[in-house]
């Protein structure tokens, strides 16, 4: 019986940690990066051997779709910087910017 309770507590604790990570600030940061990766997947194919139009098309697409996400990430980081512990992992990551 004790083992079952301990196992149940462990499972509950880990699911709470996952929920906090997914729904909390780290989860929000991951959503910004997911959006950036989505932009990269949708960008016109870039061939390093090609010059001219294909490269500039890829660059324009990334600037048009990726820069607004990066700007939103920067604003979000500025908003949370005062409310995170500076010595925490998240605090180190936020202050790195």
Each residue of 39-89: pLDDT tens digit? Answer: 988 887 765 566 667 778 888 999 999 999 999 999 999 999 999 888 888
Q: Which domain holds residue 37?
A: 25-96
Domain assignment of residue 32, yes or no: yes
Tell me which residue of 95, 45, 42, 96 sits closest to 66, measured CA to CA: 42
Structure confidence by residue, pLDDT tens digits, 14-45: 555 555 545 588 899 999 999 999 998 888 77
Domain assignment of residue 5, yes or no: no
Question: Given a cut of 50, is residue 4 above it in pLDDT?
Answer: no
Number of domains making up the chain: 1
> CA of 62: how far to CAs of 12, 51, 77, 85, in Å?
41, 17, 21, 33
Domain assignment of residue 10, yes or no: no
């Amino acid at each position: 019986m004790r083992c079952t309770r301990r196992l149940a507590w462990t499972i509950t604790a880990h699911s709470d940690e996952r929920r906090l990570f997914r729904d909390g600030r780290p989860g929000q940061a991951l959503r910004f990066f997911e959006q950036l990766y989505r932009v990269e997947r949708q960008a016109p194919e870039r061939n390093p051997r090609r010059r001219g139009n294909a490269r500039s098309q890829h660059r324009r697409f990334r600037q048009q779709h990726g820069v607004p996400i990066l700007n939103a990430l920067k604003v979000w980081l500025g908003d949370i910087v005062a409310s995170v512990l500076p010595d925490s992992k998240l605090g180190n990551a936020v202050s790195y910017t």
